[in-house]
Structure 1
Amino acid sequence: MDSASGVLLIFLFTSATSLLNAHEIDEDNFNVMDYGATSDDLTDDSQAFLEAWDDACSASVESSRVYVPAEKTFVVDPITFHGPCYASTINFAISGRIMAPESPSSWDGGDASQWLGFKNVNGLKVDGFGFGLIDGQGKGWWDQSCRYHPRLKQCTTLAPTALKFVSCNESSVSNMKFTNSAQTHILVRGCNSFSIDNVMIESPGNSPNTDGIHIQSSQHVLITNSRIATGDDCVSIGDHTSNIEIENVECGPGHGISIGSLGRGGNYVQVQNILVTDAFFNGTTNGARIKTWQVGRGYVRDVTFQNLLFNHVQNPIIIDQNYCNVRNACKEQETGVQISNVNYKEVLGTSTTDIAININCSRSVPCFGISMESIQLLSAEVGKQVTANCSNAYGEEVDVVPGPCLLD
């Protein structure tokens, strides 16, 4: 074989290999535009999204990807992406903007609790690459909310969660922006090993029930490197949760990072191994909060809040074990959720209320194992003093201002 023929064969082989690789990449990539999505800001693109998902989920490959292209806006009606999928990893790449229907009437006859959902999908990776945006267009729901419009005929108490994950294990959300969800922005329920990293969540401070992230019945959940500004809890931790870590999160406006409320209806609570570290609270109504209904049972235990910074926060450290429907007018109950082994360490900042540390525990089921170390909370008003209030709470304090208030 002469040298020219050898070069030609190498060229043909290289070209064929490149074409094969390109074909393989194309087979594994499912662009919603190829399924009829219009991205005209008006037309419902739900069917295109579902068809792209179905093909990606059923593809006989190790890894597949649904692609939502950049610089385009897609209106999507309420839909759920179902698994399980054939691929061990399925990527949902959102470089563009996904927008909810503007009118609540789009949910008529359907499930008003969610907009976009993933169910029974393992190995799911939702990634926005820093550009992806999910816009819940919640104003129509807020304008008919019973919380703010109780006299409105047919006001609503339930509104859609923007992005719901149900029974999705070994999954993640990263590099995304969420705005104006009708209610909770991200819900993680029944998941094991789930991470949320580098997300920005924004809705008005007066928007009702717009929690940033809510975790329910899930284990091994990691939330990192995120900024959350909403009308409710930045992160809320519900029942039957364990091994939750929240690190490097900025919160505000909002209601803080909350464990609870738990035990409503007298159910048995199981929450343990919660870590909140390196968090900044800016102008929130609460900081590190644990909230349980006095009719509840069960336990909250092994909780650590450390390296927290508060700026103009109403209730920097708060435990309320006597939560009920009529605030500050609860009839004392003999039941309660046992709260134990809660640690606060390296906490600094300012309080806008007189009581910077407020630990209100049950007389029947007191809190024990409360530890406070290296805490300095001052008044946001220069020259004013703040106090600590503890009821039925046992533990130890080292270098705590204001204090001490715990029982030995």
Structure 2
Amino acid sequence: MDDFLPPDRMPEAEIALRLAFKLLDYPNSEGIANVSIDRTQVTVGNTEIFPLVKFLESTGWKQDKQIGKYPWQGQYHKDKYQLNIVTQLALGNMTTVVAGRQVVVQCKSAPLKIKRRSNREVSIFLEVIGKAVTTNPVREHDIMIAAMPNIAYFQKLAKQWQKGILFQHTGIQIVLVGRDGTIEGLDIKPIPKAKPKETMPKQHTLFEKFEEFDKTSVNILRLIGQGRSYQQIMSLHPTQTYMDIFKAATEAVELFGEVKKLYREEAQLHEMPPDISTTPHAKPRRMSRYGKTDAAALRKRLKALAASRSLKGSSVSSTDKKDEQPSSKIKRKSKSTEYQAESDRIPPREYEQWSNEEYTKLANLVRSGKSVEEIASQLQRQVGAVHSRVETLKFMEAGDEETGDKKKDDKKE
């Protein structure tokens, strides 16, 4: 059947056409293939080296219309498939679409029988792979194929090369085409589905912390903010106990600690002072667009100072000038070291929640006569946090004593 084909070699046109026939019959194929065949692949001078028209007729393809300079160019059909033969393609020797992916094929003719192995076969192998690697432009999901005749030596080379890690990164498929219609190494899969984007976990905000406040605690804090005393709060809300007041105060202190911690983190990111400013009415320094003191204003102040000194007749001796150090050479602590020193002074357990054991230990230390600083050192807490809880504890104990005295008076009466 193929007696009219060259017996010693497989031309590029034959490789491209046989692979096109296979891809057109591939699952999920669009049924249209474009093959590039120029004149030199069909005839050299007046000699026909590849009988293209006869080959297409023998495989069942019929020409619908001739398009181009040569009679074998144009549009062909077979059953539901369409084949377009042109002299040049933008990509490779053959292109088609299978499973939604464009397939680009680079072909290279080679002898079918090798009497003696030589570097010629290796150079053919390298040439077709080089053409496949340098094909541009290729989209992300396009499939690049390097096609050659299916002979034993090329099979051995293909197995060796496909094991290489660098070659695997190229994504190129080495496909061997046989004259009997066999195709080896072809593997076309659909475009992988994109993974769904992972949703970010919901972050805990201070507003959610406010919402976690108990309504009783909120009401107590409002009354405290209005200046109500312990007895007044108890008289307004008889169902509430001193433990409710203690709980509200504790939650408020913890929330303030979280706010302060958040402020410190923001301060470190934006190179701001680590503590909340205690002088809200302080005048801001005049700043330039670079964030430093305005150079023009500084020059004016220096000129005014020099003028006032010249008017007063003050002068600086040469020895004083030698001893005087320029202000630029004076070593000052950087802001980062100051922030680090400030962070080192923070107790380890400042922002941790107070446990019942700590409250018991706090009460015992207060009764033993320890100072607030000593208690803070033992509990590894801020002095202010310990002081507020000590005051609350004293306030509650005073309330307990008053209620106890009232009960004694009632019994006497």
By the TM > 0.5 criterion, same fold?
no
Higher helix share: 2
Structure number with greater CO (CA < 8 Å, separation at least 6) is 2
TM-score by length of 1: 0.19
Higher strand share: 1
- Report the structure number with the largest CA radius of gyration: 2
